[in-house]
Structure 1
């Protein structure tokens, strides 16, 4: 029951941390709230290169976690966050990009000493085994395989999108993790032979799990952290066997940008005023806990595809093309926008007939909050992303909507993406995307009706699929577009920065550059919550990089301490 390190969360960062620390001989306990995915028993839907089945499996999600944007009056809506070994890497789209050098140089300039591009690149190289590229940007010996979608597997829709990009001056980049800049590319994936490779599969292999000094405890929820004064002593947990406690001199939070701050606050670390109102004894008054929450806000346009332009049934994966471009908006960096292109928008018969362009603000400035609603671990916190609260984000997302709409009007696309319409990831779309027989049958009927005639298809789009607004209605009326974007903006499941690294002089910084939580001893954070701001990338690979770098720092400190003794 006594360990050197307790790692909370078996997701992308926790898998890395448990593997690296136990490799050095330390006694490590890894606690994961969700089910395990042991080698040779990984569920088929997680292994599937197409993520839509795993993503919509409620067994892999926090069931009652909602998110909203209070400012625009939206009701809370379910926010899909993984609760399974491997975390988001077990259910996500497997996109493996890093962001740009400027992202990390900005981190360092903001007070995250040691986190510049030159200082993080070795850890990006360490984590990967790139199966396509070598050279200065890539690693070939890491645990996580990176392969790319083949251009030969592109559907007719994706090929038409590439022609539209070329007409706009966006050119092909073979390696999206090479030189950073505008362009489009095949998508790098954490995938081998058409199958997902999660962080748990890569870092918690059979040989790693056989280490006698590593204990893995799945389906166990952390209730709170335990302290003696301001020194960590361990954790209190809950599982089917009761409420066991575990002791360690160091606890490392890897529970993600939503649950890491929630665990801190339930344990008495956070804004003192909030904690006192809930009757939580204050261990350390750190007002930045749960603040500065960021996400990439986005919006989508979809279109009906003829049979020959759809994604082939034998092709693995989901997102077939990724693009980055510069908005030119005042005060924003270059390459600040991104677009994902898919030729199959969902698992069901209707989704297989729809191609989509999803545009998002790749460098966001809006910031939200995570606030406890109750001191109980059974009650999820209030998550408010506050999307588009920064005018730069709102204007660029509307500009992005106009851009993808213009792409669909080009000659190369207008004959392929038929009857385009504004699409929304709202409560109705989430409900029909659940994998079950009822939704399969309902969407099969809708798909047949859409196939039957263009006239009926347009009627279904206008009166059943959308709220009645067409793309032209929106782009020709600024008020309507603004309302549509604000009511339908959604994230990319890239939450970051809610316990950010910063200098001691920063009143809302939560950790130092090595992940130590300020004001307490023995407690660290090593997940996406410490990122000073959200990088211009899908966040899985940056999160793994953070864990690799934090683990390296911990081990170096431990060796230096041992040498002094």
Structure 2
């Protein structure tokens, strides 16, 4: 595209979209199309500290079982409304992604994105990126949980993002002054004046003619009609639900679109505690990561947090001990039907997932007993996790950890189910890319936000301008 400044339209101002924009803003004419609001810069206090948001900041997705699937409808995407959990994944997560996406390929982007306040001088961390990483002072329940884990033989893990780390330690979290530090707070301020942001603007489809993306059909805020925003390159960064919807609406008929959906299922073991003790560290305190049977690939997360913080109908003194299955085999799908978008998460469809999550609950139950023995929490009578039919119990109680990935996954040319190639180009359509969690060929054994930001940063290196 020599001789002119290329026009790039990015659909989605979330974790990946803003990182991509940041990487190319000085060599392209970039327009970002975002369906949600722009809260402005600096990010307002409620976007930094609130945990319950109005429905207007959620895309309103529901699973086929009617379960809400929260996705941030706001600049910064889900990084503006999540819990800022900053576990990024291990070498064994990325190496199976293959050529161009191994740990060695992805680590430079992970480092470039972060400023790690405790471990920034380590060669596997960054010290000058826009996303500030830190570990918060634990509260009393975190201290009791940590002591229980150590007593049970789990090793200490002061840095959960160190290569090979497993064990008990503080949550890595992207926060500044304990406020949520996603791409709205960390990246968007530096983009203002360098890109065009069209907030509260609906993207309907990518306009494709003669096998090439020509632009995006959209409706801007306050307008009733549509117009086409021309582009030399269109990048879909609308997330694991929004991107396949747009591909389908645009007539991209590839067998992998909407397939291979993965998500981390989790269950809660709830106990009661003094509300004042919970309030000292309601979230982002301690985290146990363990490999079932000693296999680090079979990872389980266990950690306590305030149930009331996310659901005000729960008692103020209720603390949830979450158990997350981080290496699920089960897969679901997203289908666009005349009745709407049907999202089947596929949780625990595979027997091995049911067994593994049940085993994770047994580990958590033992730890909870140890914590309760100190008197800091009280376990309810006849708790569900002591039932004989534990596998059935976890199937009935499994919820979403809200980490959907894989619905437009990357792969090799000989993989008929791959939607994008290793440079994130949509197969069969020139000038069209995908850069978000939907391209992950397999879910990371970690909270997916930092890996999604990494994909955006990698896309800035891969885009052909």
TM-score under structure 2 length normalisation: 0.94
In structure 2, what is the Cα distance between the partners aligned to 1:349 and 1:506? 47
Change (3 A) 1:20 1:484: same
Q: Is the 8 A contact 1:98 1:541 kept in 2?
A: yes
In structure 2, what is the Cα distance between the partners aligned to 1:411 and 1:103? 32
| Counterpart selection for 2:300 from 334, 337, 343 | 337
Q: Is the 8 A contact 1:161 1:412 kept in 2?
A: no
Q: Is the 8 A contact 2:307 2:314 kept in 1?
A: no
In structure 2, what is the Cα distance between the partners aligned to 1:157 and 1:140? 31
Q: CA deviation at 1:96?
A: 1.1
Q: Is the 8 A contact 1:155 1:343 kept in 2?
A: no
- Give structure 1 stretches of 5+ with no counterpart: 69-74, 271-285, 421-457, 459-469, 559-565
Matched, 1:353 2:325: no
Q: Is the 8 A contact 2:16 2:436 kept in 1?
A: yes
Matched, 1:225 2:213: no
* SS state at 2:441 partner: coil
Corresponding residue of 2:58 = 61
Corresponding residue of 1:7 = 10
CA RMSD of aligned residues (A): 2.0
Change (3 A) 1:346 1:308: closer
Q: Is the 8 A contact 2:79 2:182 kept in 1?
A: yes
| Counterpart selection for 1:87 from 77, 90, 97 | 77
Corresponding residue of 1:437 = none
Q: CA deviation at 1:380?
A: 4.5
Matched, 1:486 2:395: yes
In structure 2, what is the Cα distance between the partners aligned to 1:335 and 1:148? 25
Corresponding residue of 2:164 = 180
Q: CA deviation at 1:137?
A: 0.9
Flag the structure with higher helix content.
1
| Counterpart selection for 2:146 from 154, 159, 162 | 162
Q: Is the 8 A contact 2:150 2:168 kept in 1?
A: no
Q: Is the 8 A contact 1:5 1:250 kept in 2?
A: yes
- Give structure 2 stretches of 5+ with no counterpart: none
Q: CA deviation at 1:476?
A: 3.7
Change (3 A) 1:199 1:89: same
Matched, 1:248 2:249: no
Q: Is the 8 A contact 1:164 1:407 kept in 2?
A: yes
TM-score under structure 1 length normalisation: 0.77
| Counterpart selection for 2:252 from 266, 269, 273 | 269
| Counterpart selection for 2:342 from 370, 373, 382 | 382
Q: CA deviation at 1:307?
A: 4.7
- Count of residue correspondences: 457
1:337-486 matches, cutoff 5 A: 337-343=300-306, 345-346=308-309, 348=312, 350-374=314-338, 380-410=340-370, 413=373, 415-420=375-380, 470-471=382-383, 474-478=385-389, 481-486=390-395
Q: CA deviation at 1:179?
A: 2.8
Change (3 A) 1:30 1:36: same
Corresponding residue of 2:279 = 311
Corresponding residue of 1:143 = 130
Matched, 1:294 2:262: yes
Q: Is the 8 A contact 2:115 2:128 kept in 1?
A: yes
Q: CA deviation at 1:414?
A: 5.6
Corresponding residue of 2:108 = 122
In structure 1, what is the Cα distance between the partners aligned to 2:400 and 2:191? 34
Matched, 1:37 2:39: yes
In structure 2, what is the Cα distance between the partners aligned to 1:381 and 1:311? 39
Q: Is the 8 A contact 1:368 1:387 kept in 2?
A: yes
Q: Is the 8 A contact 1:161 1:407 kept in 2?
A: yes
Q: CA deviation at 1:335?
A: 5.1
In structure 1, what is the Cα distance between the partners aligned to 2:174 and 2:371? 34
In structure 1, what is the Cα distance between the partners aligned to 2:362 and 2:239? 33
Change (3 A) 1:547 1:513: same
Q: Describe the superposition over 1:335-384 as per-residue Cα deviations: whole angstroms up to 9, x where unpaired.
A: 5111132145425484431111101111111111000013xxxx751100
* SS state at 1:395 partner: helix
In structure 1, what is the Cα distance between the partners aligned to 2:209 and 2:78? 33
* SS state at 2:240 partner: helix
Matched, 1:237 2:218: yes
Q: CA deviation at 1:523?
A: 0.4
In structure 1, what is the Cα distance between the partners aligned to 2:169 and 2:11? 36
Q: Is the 8 A contact 2:36 2:200 kept in 1?
A: yes
